[in-house]
Amino acid sequence: MTLEQFFHTAPRAAAAFSGGTDSAFLLWAAKRYGCEVHAYYVKTAFQPDFELADAKRLSEELDIPLKVIRADILSVPGAAENGPKRCYYCKKALFSLIWDNVRRDGHTLLLDGTNASDDAGDRPGMQALKELHVRSPLRECGITKEEVRRQSKEAGIFTWNKPAYACLATRIPTGMRITGEDLDRVEKAESTLAGMGFADFRVRLMPDGARLQFTEAQMELALEKRKEICSRLEPLFPAVLLDMAGRKPSA
């Protein structure tokens, strides 16, 4: 099945939109193939502000209605505790909330941007999507991440080369309770580093500080700016460490 065929059978749908590459391409494809699609973005403490800004920009460029839903994710049982099934509890709560809004708006079909490259065995959140009957057209049509980026570039979608961005909760070690203060510190640190010219990196929280992960391509820049990094992140963390093993570039 192709995306064109999928949307011919789904002329009206709602789509969960993260502001990332996959869901952006999904919205573009829905629009292209004649689907009356509405986008839904859930803003929580786990999503940095730039993701919402990208979601708003993309929806405006595609002329697709966007509803922003606010949610207190830290009050969701199993989320703040940050156990091994945190992603499941989070996805279940957020997509249940989206479904509530979608149904009130008269939709009966909810889509998400999971692609064929995503490993279901490594993503507990995908079990929640299955339980809630969320459809994933990219995955169903066998479209991989590489194909999403290629077609997005050809279509002129600005997110075509946007690095994959896992939510801020992934910066907190499993088993360490997640607080709004810690999420805020991580977001501020990553925003600071982005403003210094870094891309596709992570700031991992530790009990006694933060561990910075840069790709090999930007490791030299990190060493050159070592003093500036320490100076600017010092107000946020008691210690700042550089992970010398580096980080593999995001797909």
Q: pLDDT tens-digit profile of 104-132?
A: 999 999 999 999 998 765 577 789 999 99
C-alpha dihedral, 141 to 147 to 152 to 155, nearest 10°: -80
Angular region, 41: left φ>0, alpha ψ -120 to 50, beta rest = beta
Residue spans per domain, the chain:
3-155, 179-242
Instruction: Over range 135-156, report the average pLDDT.
Output: 97
Tokens of 4: 């064109």
Element spanning 213, H or E: strand 209-213
Backbone angles phi, psi at 242, to 5 degrees: -100, 125
Q: Write out the DSSP string of 75-95.
A: GSTTTTTT-TTHHHHHHHHHH
Confidence of residue 165 (pLDDT cuts 50, 70, 90): confident
Instruction: Over range 162-166, report the average pLDDT.
Output: 88
Q: Reply yes or no on whether 87 is catalytic.
A: no
CB of 117 closer than 8 Å to CB of 144: yes
Task: Count CB atoms within 10 A of the CB of residue 215.
Answer: 17
CB within 8 Å of 127: residues ≥ 6 apart: 88
Confidence of residue 75 (pLDDT cuts 50, 70, 90): very high
CA–chain centroid gap for 16, Å, is 11
Mean pLDDT of the chain: 95
Looking at 87, 141, 167, 230, which residue is catalytic?
Answer: 167
Q: Look up the pTM and report it.
A: 0.92
Q: What is the DSSP letter of 135?
A: B
Question: Which residues is 79 bridged to in the sheet?
Answer: none
pLDDT tens, position by position, 77-93? 999 999 999 999 999 99
Q: Write out the DSSP string of 41-75.
A: EEE-TTS-HHHHHHHHHHHHHHT--EEEEE--GGG
Class of CATH domain 3-155? alpha beta
